[in-house]
Amino acid sequence: MDCCYCTDSIIRELKKALKKSDEDLRKDVEQIVKKHRKKCGSQVHGDYYVRAGKSYLVDERGNNLSEKVFKQILARNYRGLYLSRDAPEDILNEENVKFYWISTARAPNAVAPTDLPKMLSIVKEFLKEGGRCVVMIESSESLILHNGFDKFLKFVQSIKDAVSESRGILLVSMNMKARTDRERALIEEELVDLLKKK
């Protein structure tokens, strides 16, 4: 288990143990939490630091890193929404994850790649349920192919706004090498590059 997972668990337990009337102890624990968060601001043993209310780009071919980050966030008591062309078995087995298959197939939880309004509605409904939420968009290239880049960008902007308002987290997996200079610049304006923020 990564060191940040262990520390987060200890911090959660300390916070629960605090009595509401003990302000000095509460302040001490909050300082420890802030100190720990700063230390984990960069990659530590494969652990990535992400903040609530933020939207992140995971620049990759495939989805190995984004899945790892998604699972890291789930381990911190977040509920997850996963939109993908593929159905990763380990993600599907998670209790606290809703999965939607981006496909033209008529299947349960399938949504057509051209139906961005439906996907946006799914995301907004998920976020309205409250609690700590993470949204993963894993099939960016497919969505761009079916809708064009500009429509995809507007879709991401709408989700980013909803995630920011609900203090959730958005992960967008995308191969930036496949994008034009203009597209890269526009994406980088909207999303924090997870790999460049080390």
User: What is the token pair recorded at 88?
Assistant: 């990763």
User: Which strands form 192-193's sheet, in the order they lie side by side?
Assistant: 110-111, 97-102, 79-84, 133-137, 169-174, 55-59, 192-193
Q: How far is CA 128 from the centre of its chain?
A: 16
Q: Which residue has the higher pLDDT, 84 or 40?
A: 84
Cβ–Cβ under 8 Å, residues 12 and 35: no
How far apart, in whole angstroms, are the C-alpha atoms of residue 87 and residue 138? Answer: 10
Domain spanning 55-193: CATH superfamily: P-loop containing nucleotide triphosphate hydrolases (3.40.50.300)
Numbered ranges of CATH 3.40.50.300 in the chain: 55-193
pLDDT tens digit sequence for 115-146: 999 999 999 999 999 999 999 999 899 999 99
Say what the pLDDT of residue 32 is. Answer: 65
